[in-house]
Copies of this chain bind each other. A is one copy, B any other.
Amino acid sequence: MSKGERTRAAILDQALAMTSTDGLTGLTIGTLADRLGMSKSGLFAHFGSKEQLQAAVLERAAELFADTVVRPALAQPRGLPRVLGLFENWIAWTMDPVLPGGCPIQAASIEFDDRPGPIQDLIVKQQEDMRRVVIGAARRAVEEGHLRADLDVEQFAFEGISLCYGFTQSYRLLKNPKSEVWARNAVHGLVDRARVRQ
């Protein structure tokens, strides 16, 4: 790992934390450089433009999400455990102090939902990927016989993802201590209703 790659990684770590609290727009090259004790221009040279910095941050965030949420869930036995693992890990991810201001991708979703361009395209792709992961896990659980054969997996994914989003708002903004219980109850209810009747 060359020197450049090391600093680039350090920049992205700090940028991720900053984006988490201030958003992709609030992420500013000057203050980011200050926090890292380096010059604006030196930092800038690593990315070439602010937009490319933003894209790099989003990609780093997605990696972290994959490592923290998706991969551990997919390591579970296929079927129901994977589906539950996804939601459980997602809830834990929202509370993870590694991201001091919550999921940067979710923040960026709302920030950029009316600003077409490469950044929006990237966000949409990431969200679609996540949707596909949930749908795939649910479909697999159907095949395994854990979930009902007539389950509408797209509807299922919509509801599960919505609950994870709502949890963020309840936990991070309203700071309601019951948020976690509500979120867990909700996703478990969602999964229970999707199970085969016995």
**How many residues does chain A have at the interface if contact means C-beta atoms less than 8 Å apart?**
47
Whether the pair A114, B182 counts as a contact (CB closer than 8 A) is no
A154 within 8 A of B: yes
Given contacts A20-B114, A162-B165, A165-B169, 12 further A-B contacts (CB under 8 A): A21-B114, A22-B114, A102-B110, A106-B110, A107-B110, A127-B169, A154-B182, A158-B179, A159-B163, A161-B166, A162-B170, A163-B163
Chain A residues engaging chain B, CB cutoff 8 angstroms: 20-23, 25-26, 100-102, 106-107, 109-115, 120, 123-124, 127-128, 131, 154-155, 158-159, 161-163, 165-170, 172-174, 178-179, 182-183, 185-186, 193
